[in-house]
Amino acid sequence: MILLAHGAGGRMTGRLVREIFLRHFSNEALARLEDAACLSAGAARIAFTTDSFVVTPIVFPGGDLGKLSICGTVNDLAVMGARPIALSAGFVIEEGLPMATLDRIAASMQAVCAEIGVPVVTGDTKVVERGSCDQVFINTAGVGLLEEPLPQGAAAVRPGDRVIVSGGIADHGIAVMAARNDLRFETTIESDCAPVLSATRALLESGAAVRWMRDPTRGGIATTLCELTSGAPFAIEIAEERIPLRPAVLALAEILGLDTLYVPSEGRFLAVVDAADVDRALAALRADPAGRESVEIGEVIADPPGRLLLRTRIGGHRILDMLTGDQLPRIC
């Protein structure tokens, strides 16, 4: 039986993907389980990805379902090093949705598309009976070109490499939670929902040796880095005091009992770069609006292999494991 936790992006999602989808769809491109599949199309190498968006409420501080649905797919292509060229958008709409709501969502989708210069070139519309979905769900897919410079891939990660995050974490998850009516919080926290494309391009084109990039959406930076270390011959240690976190985000997370390391961002990415290039990488990132707050948060180490460690502010250590359970349903 499917539980909400199967959609949380953590351990149970992983098992679901392996035991159902990988089993049935088994093929080489899918089996890599990257944010986007890398394919050959004639002489070109392309990246292809898809994502569905069910966030509630559909309008939240800093964004809405429409903006999120474009950023999510574009960012999945961006962290693969791809240049997005075209997007699709599929809408599942509940009968009774005000036309103005749909109009607003489409407008904010187009605003992001215009900003990054990538069009929605195909789409689909389905309307279902009241109660069969909640207002509107959106699926987007995207195709991008894979041209050098590209990340070297997870297999190139080695001890000594540095881990960078492109800005304050957890804003999106906490902003959406705060916007839920039942909690009645008044805050100024805004979602970080934004395309990271310009920053990933800036990093790759800086000449720094970029091993790996990923956007920490569901499951937060802990789960995302765990996906890199899991089964790998190295470990990663991140330093708690270096992880950028807005005080208001931390305060609300503490009230809600949420660990910010597991709360999603929608406009950030993590990168692993060669230690010798870390200054160059940070300079390039900070010169881009989407990477202004970039900082180094940790290092790839040899032991214990396969593990993600947090060095706490007071000098202790703890293991960071993948998210278990559904700490935040319908956040994206």
Partner 1 sequence: MSVSSSDSPSAAFADPARCAALRREIEKTASGGPPITLMEVCGTHTTALFRFGLREMLPPEVRVISGPGCPVCVTPTAYIDLALRLLDEPRLALVTFGDMMRVPGSRSSLERRRARGGRVEVVYSALDALALAAAEPQTRFVFLAVGFETTAPGSALLLRAIAERRIANLYLLVAHKLVPPALEALLGRPDLRVDGLILPGHVSVILGTEVYRPIAERHGVPGVVCGFEPVDLLSGILELVRMRRDGTAAIVNRYGRAVTPQGNRLARASLSEWFLEEDAEWRGLGPIPGSGLRLRPEFSSYDGLGLLPPSEIRKVEEAVRDHEGCRCGDVLCGTVAPPECPLFGEVCTPENPIGACMVSTEGTCAAYFKYARGWSGGVR
Give min distance, CB of 318 to partner 1, in A. Answer: 5
CA angle 25, 38, 326 (to 5 degrees): 60
Residue with tokens 């996906």: 227
> Measured from the CB atom, is 47 or 179 closer to partner 1?
179
Stretch that binds partner 1, among 1-9, 25-33, 79-87, 147-155 (CB under 8 A): 1-9
Min separation Cβ 236 and partner 1, Å: 13
Question: Does 3 help bind partner 1 (rule: CB under 8 A)?
Answer: yes
Does residue number 133 form part of the binding site for partner 1 (CB under 8 A)? no
Q: Which residue has the tokens 């491109």?
A: 29
Cα separation, 293 vs 184, in Å, equals 30
Q: 104, 149, 324, 330: which one contacts partner 1 (CB under 8 A)?
A: 324
How many residues make contact with partner 1 (CB under 8 A)? 38
Give which of 66, 114, 74, 55 is closest to 269, Cα–Cα.
Answer: 74
The tokens of 331 are what?
């956040």
Q: Compute the radius of gyration of the chain from its Cα atoms.
A: 19
Looking at residues 184 to 243 of the shown chain, list those that interact with partner 1 (rule: CB under 8 A): 240-241, 243
What is the DSSP track for 277-318? GHHHHHHHHHTSGGGTT-EEEEEEESSSTT-EEEE-TTS-EE
Position 11 contacts partner 1 (CB under 8 A): yes
Q: Give the bridge partners for 239, in sequence order.
A: 311
Q: Tell me the one-letter amino acid at 238.
A: I
Report the amino acid identity of residue 105.
I
Which residues inside 243-282 make contact with partner 1, applying CB under 8 A?
243-247, 250-251, 256-257
Q: At closest approach, how far in Å is the CB of 133 from partner 1? A: 17
Residues 6+ apart with CB under 8 A from 1: none
Window 53 to 112, contacts with partner 1 (CB under 8 A): none
> CB-wise, 141 or 261, nearer to partner 1?
261
- Rounded Cα distance between 237 and 242, Å, is 12
Q: CA 320, 187, 256: angle at the middle one, nearest 5?
A: 35
| Candidate ranges 30-38, 47-55, 211-219, 319-327; the one touching partner 1 (CB under 8 A) | 319-327
Q: Of these, 96, 160, 207, 325, which contacts partner 1 (CB under 8 A)?
A: 325
Q: Which residue's entry shows tokens 């979602």? A: 191
Name the one range near partner 1 by CB under 8 A: 93-101, 117-125, 265-273, 316-324. Answer: 316-324
3-state secondary structure of 20: helix
- Minimum separation from the CB atom of position 143 to partner 1 (A): 34
Q: Give the residues lining the site for partner 1 (CB under 8 A).
A: 1-5, 11-12, 167-168, 182-183, 240-241, 243-247, 250-251, 256-257, 293, 304, 307, 310-319, 321, 324-325
